Structure 1
Amino acid sequence: MGLFSRDPDSGDDDDAASDGLRFWEERGFVAATIVVGAVLVCLLVWFFARGDSDTPTSQPSQTQPSNVVPTEQPTEEPSVPPATPTEVPTSTGTTRPTTPPPLNSTTGGCRNKTPDMKLPTTAPPAVTWQFEGNILIPLQVAGGPATTAQSGVRSCFAHSPTGAVLATMVLLGQVINPDMTEDVLLARVLPGPGRNRALNEFRHPTTPQAAGQVQFAGFKILAYESNFAIIQIAAQVNNRDYAALPVTMRWNKGDWKADLKEDGTFNGTVAPDVLASLDSYVGFRGA
């Protein structure tokens, strides 16, 4: 499908990816298809799965909505410096602490009657970053999540571009927590062959669990319509390399939910998008 590709001119990134691949091979990890249930190794193994490939994938060939946001191939070193875990990025690029939103809200998230419908070109403001396992996820009063179930699954995001971004990051952050994976798949993913495959893989894993650290670094809205969005999330792996994953989200029964491919993945079988730069992304991170 090729929803993302790597820069053919970035030789340094090829070397870094090859080093990362050797790192995983030393620990017995297999460069295989990225199945959601194996933690959803979509944020780790997908980064190194084809790190030794010399052939870049093509740009998306599928038909997207007319208001697809154009992007450019990154070329320089990552340009978004990390903030400390106790600070929160704001839309102006500075940092300041914020008050965490309530676990359940009657006015925010999917209950927000007047959400900001502009495509965000800067980091969403007034965001609190909280740890979900080892990864920081963003929480916002206006955009959500506005509901937290007893299982800990967070839902109810604003029906807006910013709400879709927050929904995607929170979904990814929670689904890679093995204590919550099944609950998140059932609550935050659309039913269908993809979800069934992911649930089966989680319950009967055939792919080894990934190890390492992942932190969100930014996002890019590839497409947005009222009931459909493709959000590409950039993440930093092991405090070194950057990569990106596209996630298709659909507005369903009053909330944003992920639409998995039939093989149980977010993005199908593609070569990893090893980023040389975050220049075309909106920098958005908590650490």
Structure 2
Amino acid sequence: MASLDNPTPSRRRPVLLAVAVVVIVVLGVAAFFWGRDSGTVAAPPPGEASPQPGTLPSSPDTAVPTTAPQDVRWELYQGVAVPMSDTHGPSSTDGAVASGYAHTPTGALIASVQIVYRLALAPADQWRAVAEQQVTGPDKAKFLAQLAEVDRGQTDPRIQQIAGFRIVSYDAQTAVIETASGSVGKYTVGTQVMRWENGDWRLHMSDAEHSTARVSPDLSGFVPWSGVK
């Protein structure tokens, strides 16, 4: 992973998978979104599952961020800036899989961006490891089958960098996060549901309540957040 201080531009520009809004552009899985769960801010319950090896410990900081998280640096993954944090994760990277996120709203936020971009941009078949380890929910198998049909040999120069976020709801088990990607005048907005399972945040897939991407001319209601200036 290249640092933004010394970027090594990627020549590879794969089709942007519609696995989540931050990279939605063209593919047929655009309609395959996940159910939304509501929740309120709450501290993790006692006796929660122990984190997996390499994960960060749970943090008492359950405050939903209303400004850009400070303890974040941006690094390039396949030409896209993704967030990293010593406090909130990821704490471990194995191939395309970045795991180990703090049990906090910011941990869930960073996990949502990391998982989505890695599903979309992982080279060759490395997306499979991301999907198998970091996607959950009743429609996981269907989702993976759709991803397997994607022709990743196509190219598209329109890699959409993340531009902002809004945490719709958060509790100890579920975070509902809206992300905006793109640029001024045309931001693509959509929703990711993250579930805390087996000691880490995972992308939850369910067609119980379909959602479609929308386009916004600005970032009203969102916290501006991007690694690209």
TM-score range for the pair, normalised by the shorter chain length? 0.7 to 0.9
Give 3-state SS (helix, strand or coil) of 2:106's partner.
Answer: helix
Q: What is the CA-CA distance between 1:206 and the residue it aligns to?
A: 7.8
Larger radius of gyration: 1
Q: Unaligned 5+ residue runs, structure 1?
A: 1-36, 51-60, 68-105
Q: 1:230 and 2:193 equivalent?
A: no
Give 3-state SS (helix, strand or coil) of 1:274's partner.
Answer: strand
Give 3-state SS (helix, strand or coil) of 1:163's partner.
Answer: helix
Q: State how far apart, in whole Å, the 2-side matches of 1:114 and 1:268 are.
A: 32
Percent identity of equivalent pairs? 25
Structure 1 contact 215–236 (Cα < 8 Å) conserved:
yes
Aligned to 2:25: 45
Q: Structure 1 residues 157 and 228, CA, compared in 2 at 3 Å: closer, same or farther? A: same
Residue of structure 2 aligned with 1:172, choices 94, 111, 116: 116
Q: What is the CA-CA distance between 1:38 and the residue it aligns to?
A: 7.4
Structure 1 contact 229–250 (Cα < 8 Å) conserved:
yes
Q: What is the CA-CA distance between 1:135 and the residue it aligns to?
A: 1.3
- Scaled by the length of structure 2, the TM-score of the pair is 0.73
Structure 2 contact 164–225 (Cα < 8 Å) conserved:
yes
Q: Structure 1 residues 215 and 123, CA, compared in 2 at 3 Å: closer, same or farther? A: same
Q: State how far apart, in whole Å, the 1-side matches of 2:153 and 2:185 are.
A: 22
Report the count of equivalent residues.
194
Give 3-state SS (helix, strand or coil) of 1:176's partner.
Answer: helix
Q: Unaligned 5+ residue runs, structure 2?
A: 1-14, 42-50
Aligned to 1:282: 223
Give 3-state SS (helix, strand or coil) of 1:119's partner.
Answer: coil
Matched letter for residue 170 of structure 1: Q
Structure 2 contact 59–104 (Cα < 8 Å) conserved:
no
**Superimposed CA distance per residue, residues 220-272 of structure 1 (whole angstroms, 9 cap, x where no aligned partner):** 001111111101111016x7621111001100000000111249xxx8352x3
Residue of structure 1 aligned with 2:194, choices 249, 267, 280: 249
Q: What is the CA-CA distance between 1:147 and the residue it aligns to?
A: 1.3
Q: 1:1-287 residue pairs with structure 2 within 5 A?
A: 39-40=17-18, 42=20, 43-45=23-25, 64-66=38-40, 110-149=55-94, 151-179=95-123, 180-190=126-136, 192=138, 194-205=139-150, 211=156, 212-236=158-182, 241-262=186-207, 268=210, 270=212, 272-287=213-228
Q: Structure 1 residues 66 and 269, CA, compared in 2 at 3 Å: closer, same or farther? A: closer
Q: What is the CA-CA distance between 1:127 and the residue it aligns to?
A: 1.3
More helix by share: 1
Structure 1 contact 216–236 (Cα < 8 Å) conserved:
yes
- Scaled by the length of structure 1, the TM-score of the pair is 0.59
